[in-house]
Amino acid sequence: MFRSILPKETSFFDYFEQIGALASTVCQELLTLTSVGGSFTTQANRIKEIEKEADKITHHCTDALHSTFITPMDRSHIHSLIKRLDDIIDSVDAATSRMVLYDLTEMRPEAKGLAEILVKATAEIETALKKLRNLKHPEGIEAHLIAVTGWRTKATRSCARRWRGCSRKRPTRSA
């Protein structure tokens, strides 16, 4: 009897998997952009399209969250997860927009290295998201999250090495 008055079940896991796939795709586009050189307009436009698609998925998920009575996990966790996944795509779009704005024509190897790390990390995230449907066996998800943490550490160390290198090359002021 109550089923007829409750809103239809929405699969939030579908939203997670869709935006996870978009995060992997946008990072792959970034890798292509950092590998090719020349004009970045084609990849930048593709990244902008992906970002708009991710925003739609985020919006649909948020709307579903507000209209669903019973959710498969805590509402705040659903909202936080979909927002953070969208943030990955937004960050890649913002970086790409700046590359086009400043009319970059070549990429440093460090940019390509970070893009490669992003591709690997988002692949792990995408796999973990697919395993979220079975919340009774979280151990399958944990290995992927540990791998993501490892990729994040590697990216942080890579950036730190780069910044240390920049500070050593800075000329000293003479009086």
- pLDDT per residue, tens digit, the chain (175 aa), is 445 555 555 689 999 999 999 999 999 999 999 998 667 888 899 999 999 999 999 999 999 999 988 888 899 999 999 999 999 999 999 999 999 899 888 888 889 999 999 999 999 999 999 999 887 777 789 999 999 999 999 999 988 877 776 555 555 555 4
Contact 135, 71 (CB under 8 A): no
Helices 109-131 and 75-101 meet at what angle, rounded to 10? 160
* Confidence (pLDDT) at 59: 97
* Confidence (pLDDT) at 9: 56
DSSP state of 128: H
* Confidence (pLDDT) at 76: 95
d(CA 37, CA 51): 22
* Confidence (pLDDT) at 175: 47
Tokens matching residue 39: 């004009």
* Confidence (pLDDT) at 4: 52
pTM for this structure? Answer: 0.85
Residue in 124, 120, 53 with CA at minimum distance from that of residue 89: 53
Q: Helix or strand or coil: residue 39? A: coil
- Which residue carries 């084609």 as its tokens? 42
Half-sphere exposure at residue 101, Cβ-oriented, CA atoms within 13 angstroms: 6
d(CA 73, CA 65): 11
Q: Which domains does the chain have, with CATH numbers?
A: 9-169 (1.20.58.220)
Contact 81, 29 (CB under 8 A): no
* Confidence (pLDDT) at 98: 93
* Confidence (pLDDT) at 166: 59
d(CA 88, CA 94): 10
- Which residue carries 């590359």 as its tokens? 99
In sequence order, what are the residues at sequence separation of 6 or more whose Cβ sits closer than 8 angstroms to the Cβ of residue 114?
A: 155, 158, 159
Q: Helix or strand or coil: residue 16? A: helix
